[in-house]
Amino acid sequence: MYKEVAFDPRCMADIEYYNLVKQHFGFEKGRYISAEIKSWAREAMTHVKESDLKTIRKQSVKNYLNKLGRSKTSEEFLLTRDRQGVAANCWQDWAEAQRKIRGFSCIVSDGSGEDRIDIDQVNEGCGEWNVPASISVDRSDPKSIVEGILTLLVLSDCVTIVDQFFRLAGNAVLVELFKAIPNTSVRCLRIATAMETCGIEDVYDREFRSMHANVRFEWIKAPDRYFHDRYVITEVGAVRSGHGFMTDVKKGTHADLANINIVARDEAHRTLAELDQLLEAGKATLELSR
């Protein structure tokens, strides 16, 4: 549901692209611009200064780029760990080098080329650009459930799953998560659940220890029925599923599919804050940490 977008800095010479950056990227939009902020802003500034934008509009774009160039982080931008440290003479060379590391969801540019879309295609709602309000996944298939959140995992360092019915033993979704994580930026996976696990260390050692590498794993026992909605929350985005993230047998009903949708930053942060408060108050317990 989340998209990692390469955005040609030359496009900032066009006010429509500037508005696109300001209005359609960030935590709640489901998109981030992948770029090294300072070099991207510097290259964009060169093209803006040479543009025929009207004075007021040009100054607005320049103000934005100046502020961006002084910032270490930005709401609209995200550079994952595997993309950092790539040197290039210009954005075009940088983008080509990055595609060898991992492809982008799309490349926004007014030039021609593979996987590139321009403002007209964006306005028409092309599939490469659109972020659906929700997606449906097959609850009987653990791979389908993980694929529904995989694009968020790729962009994230720390993942917290809040799901009162998420169990440890015999959890095929957790198996698929551990398989997927090495191809993401995830360094920490936390699970908050109300499910009891007898012999939790033995269960973990038997079923997951061999799959767990280079990722901190925490299992938190939360109070029963405290969290009703089920979430996957990270530092860059969050999604919710009313039916949760556990598998279930097909019953030939509407509930055979789980709907996953992006949630607001405030809701995600409030949920994490409440989890932290429960831990501090001793009402939730860190039962396993590896």
Find the distance separating the first CA and the last CA of the chain, reported in whole Å.
29
Helix (H) or strand (E) holding 134: strand 134-138
Domains 3-123 and 134-289 share a fold: no
DSSP string, 70-82: H-S--SSB---GG
Q: What is the Cα–Cα distance from 68 to 41, expressed in whole angstroms?
A: 7
Tell me the pLDDT of the chain (290 aa) as tens digits. Answer: 899 999 999 999 999 999 999 999 999 999 999 999 999 999 999 999 999 999 999 999 999 999 999 988 899 999 999 999 999 999 999 999 999 999 999 999 987 666 799 999 999 999 999 999 899 999 999 999 999 999 999 999 999 999 999 999 999 999 999 999 999 999 999 999 999 999 999 999 999 999 877 899 999 999 999 999 999 999 999 999 989 999 999 999 998 999 999 999 999 999 999 999 999 999 999 999 99
- Measure CA 141 to chain center: 22
Domain 134-289 part of CATH 3.30.70.100: no
The domain segmentation of the chain, as residue ranges, is 3-123, 134-289
Residue 26: both structure tokens together = 């960030």
Q: What is the Cα–Cα distance from 68 to 64, expressed in whole angstroms?
A: 6
pTM of the predicted model as reported, rounded to 2 decimal places: 0.94
Q: What is the Cα–Cα distance from 197 to 290, expressed in whole angstroms?
A: 16
Q: What is the Cα–Cα distance from 238 to 236, expressed in whole angstroms?
A: 7
CATH topology of domain 3-123: Rossmann fold (3.40.50)
Contact 76, 26 (CB under 8 A): yes
